[in-house]
Amino acid sequence: MESKAKEILSKYREAGRISIEAKRIAEKTIRPGKNAFQIAEEIEGFIRKEGAKPSFPLNFSINNEAAHYSPEINDSRTVGKNDTIKVDLGAHVDGYIVDTAITINFNPQYNELVKVANEALEAALSIVKDGVKVMEVGAVIEKTITSAGYEPIRNLSGHQIKRYVLHAGQTIPNHGSKFLELIKGRLQKGKVYAIEPFATDGVGEVINGKRTNIFRVVRKPKKKEVEHAKILAKYFKTVGVLPFSPRFLYDKENNDKETIMKDLRKLLRAGIIMGYPVLVERNPNANVSQFEHTIIVKENGCEVLTQ
């Protein structure tokens, strides 16, 4: 292997190692009564201390929320004694991103639901190799979940990952419906993908929830947008091109929560940043589980970076 490729691989592996440890911290720390803001700060702090950066804000989505709830600044949300929590986190080293998730569940009623999302991920990983159709991966995920009497969330999917781009190129569906003929791709060796089955006892579809607490810069301000340029300049060094949380900008001395949120709303209205709303299962009483790994596809299998 040439040295450039070796260097990239070692950065991916280092990001993977840090994300694995971060998940262990989540498993040890998350208990009923614990505060979500403090847990997110602790885990993201660990990622930074290890010399990586969060690929995106830690997601702490509870019960009916499938994804994209990230604690707000000084969020008072605490873990309930019957909660099912999807902890989705990532680390990147020099832009080489990993993305991984576990479900931490305190309600025995949902043990099966949690188990089946993990089994779907294992089943998907077991068929991954160079040339496998992404639809075949989706079909295995769907079959594993529906066989157990649950639904995959069909409008959430895995994705290819490229340097500094979390959702890049190919999509890896969580189902194998023939109606998805558009998704014709095949996994290719050497490429990096995140596979992330979601299982639910609901309808298998997420819709936008009310809140948005993850954002990303999508364009530069134009010449005439002087005020916007000034605001962005204040934050860009911290937020960069990957998804960010207002927490990343929170600095007790200079930036209070109100100023940050006011600034972000201005950038949002101008279309300079975009928001990722919390995604909730369409059935408000349904629960959701999720597991995710980042892999590098090989000739005859894959290397799982996050386990």
Positions annotated as catalytic residues are: 88, 99, 159, 167, 196, 292
Q: Is 153 within 8 Å of 206 (Cβ atoms)?
A: yes
Residue closer to Mn ion (CB basis): 41 or 88: 88
Count residues near Mn ion (CB under 5 A).
6
Min CB(291)–Mn ion separation in Å: 10
For residues 276 and 261, give the distance between their C-alpha atoms in angstroms, rounded to a whole number: 15
The window from 69-77, 98-106, 123-131, 228-236 that contacts Mn ion (CB under 5 A) reads 98-106
Residue closer to Mn ion (CB basis): 72 or 196: 196
The window from 4-12, 84-92, 171-179, 229-237 that contacts Mn ion (CB under 5 A) reads 84-92
Residue closer to Mn ion (CB basis): 99 or 119: 99
Concatenated DSSP letters of the chain: --HHHHHHHHHHHHHHHHHHHHHHHHHHH--TT-BHHHHHHHHHHHHHHTT-EESSPPEEEETTEEE---PPTT---B--TT-EEEEEEEEEETTEEEEEEEEEE--GGGHHHHHHHHHHHHHHHHH--TT-BHHHHHHHHHHHHHHTT-EE-TT-EEEEEETTEEEEEEEEESS--GGGTT---B--TT-EEEE--EEESS-S-EEEEEEEEEEEE-SPPPTT-HHHHHHHHHHHHHHTTS-B-GGGG-BTTTB-HHHHHHHHHHHHHTTSEEEEEEEEESSTT--EEE-BEEEEEETTEEEETT-
The window from 99-107, 218-226, 233-241, 270-278 that contacts Mn ion (CB under 5 A) reads 99-107
Which of 14, 41, 65, 88 lies at the binding interface for Mn ion (CB under 5 A)? 88
Min CB(177)–Mn ion separation in Å: 20
Residue closer to Mn ion (CB basis): 14 or 88: 88
Residue closer to Mn ion (CB basis): 15 or 267: 15
| Window 246 to 305, contacts with Mn ion (CB under 5 A) | 292
Min CB(270)–Mn ion separation in Å: 27
Residue 99 within binding range of Mn ion, rule CB under 5 A? yes
Residue 65 within binding range of Mn ion, rule CB under 5 A? no
Min CB(194)–Mn ion separation in Å: 4
Contact track, Mn ion, 155-194, x by CB under 5 A? ---------------------------------------x
Min CB(175)–Mn ion separation in Å: 16
Min CB(180)–Mn ion separation in Å: 18
For residues 89 and 59, give the distance between their C-alpha atoms in angstroms, rounded to a whole number: 6
Residue 72 within binding range of Mn ion, rule CB under 5 A? no
Which residue, among 59, 40, 100, has the nearest Cα to 250 in the 3D structure? Answer: 40
Residue closer to Mn ion (CB basis): 194 or 288: 194
The footprint of Mn ion (CB under 5 A) covers 88, 99, 101, 194, 196, 292
